[in-house]
Copies of this chain bind each other. A is one copy, B any other.
Amino acid sequence: MFIRNDWYIAAWAHEVPPGKLLARTICDDRIVLYRDASGKAAALEDRCAHRGAPLSCGEMVPEGLQCGYHGLVYGRDGKCVYIPGQASIPPRANVKSYPVVEQDEFIWIWTGDPAKADPAKVVPYPWNNDHKNWPHKPERYHVECNFMLLVDNLMDLTHLGYVHKGTIGGNPKTHVEAKMDVTRTENGVKYTRWMLSSVPPPTYVKAVGFKGLVDRWQEFDFHAPGAIHQWSGATNAGTGAYEGKREGGFSLRLYHGITPETERTSHYFWAGANGYRQDDPAATEQLYQELATAFKQDLTIVAAQQRTLDHYKSVPYIDIKADNARVHARRVLERRLAEESGQPLPTLETA
């Protein structure tokens, strides 16, 4: 079961260059992504109406996307426009077409009711377009868990002190004792954490060479179903970050885009932008490497978690204080799922 009436990231724009067909499963739908003759992104069901061959095994021809088995050609609306050897096209010769929007370096897709697919509902992320101030290196990971476990992961940052002790995390106590403000939003939750006069984590020190304690912040903005905008940073302790003076230290903007592939697997699109040494490509690359190392640690733990949840299906789980933002996020997702399905949600676990 998926939340379908919303935009998900289908791909980074650069993953779909002209002439290339990209097969990708989203919300358990098999989809082929491509660009039409005008260069505009398009998405069709990856299944020829004739004999079921995947359209992603075909190729682009001037008239559209041609099946590689018997040559039928489809337009971006999914209607067949050419059948080899016959003049008439039967009305049933078509496949499902998905609304897509290209924005902020992403190709967004809508797998629900197309009539509700309003492009204005795509949550903007303008920093992706500001390469000068926010240079970044895009990445996509395949993750072996339900997309909600990834949302959970990002909504409870106490895991930084355990999972990422040696990378972006640092001292567990610092994270546990962080001052945290949580705000419910119309379609998600926002939280800010402050770790004043704290020891900077290894990643921060490597990036800008802190010598002593820092005032450190983490701002997270979750937009259901799958977008999380993060702004984190630190300046030398006592230099006014908490009061608003956040320039001159370490700062990063991190995009987390989570798209369900199947009930048990997800696509994780991310990019970290360095808000320091912006003219130095090595800074961007170093940040990427640090984040990649940390995210691989997350991928290991959430996949193990998924396997355990699958094995122990009807066991109750407990919420703890640190789950404050996470519980809000889950409630939003569960409400959305219940709305779409018209029935109470069979949750993955019992709180």
Contact = CB atoms under 8 A, between A and B. Distances in A.
A297 to B, nearest CB: 9
A338 interface: no
B85 A321 contact: yes
A71 B172 contact: yes
A70 B312 contact: no
A57 B66 CA distance: 48
Please give the count of copies of this chain that the complex contains.
3
A211 to B, nearest CB: 28
A163 B318 contact: no
Contacts of A311: 30
Contact of A54 (B30, B47, B152, B304): B304
A303 to B, nearest CB: 10
* Interface size bracket, A side: 35 or more
B85 A317 contact: no
Contact of A69 (B72, B92, B301, B349): B301
A92 B67 CA distance: 55
Contacts of A14: none
Nearest to A59: B162
Contact of A47 (B51, B84, B162, B315): B315
A93 B92 CA distance: 57
A318 B92 contact: yes
A47 to B, nearest CB: 5
Interface stretch (A103-111, A128-136, A153-161, A274-282): A153-161
B159 A69 contact: yes
Nearest to A47: B308
A49 interface: yes
A90 interface: yes
A315 to B, nearest CB: 7
Contact of A162 (B52, B69, B159, B177): B69
Contacts of A163: 68-69
Contact of A156 (B70, B90, B161, B312): B70
Given A71-B162, A83-B320, 15 more contacts: A30-B312, A51-B305, A51-B317, A51-B349, A53-B308, A54-B304, A67-B162, A69-B159, A69-B162, A70-B156, A71-B158, A71-B161, A84-B158, A84-B322, A86-B321
8 contacts: A52-B308, A54-B305, A58-B162, A70-B322, A84-B161, A86-B322, A92-B316, A92-B318
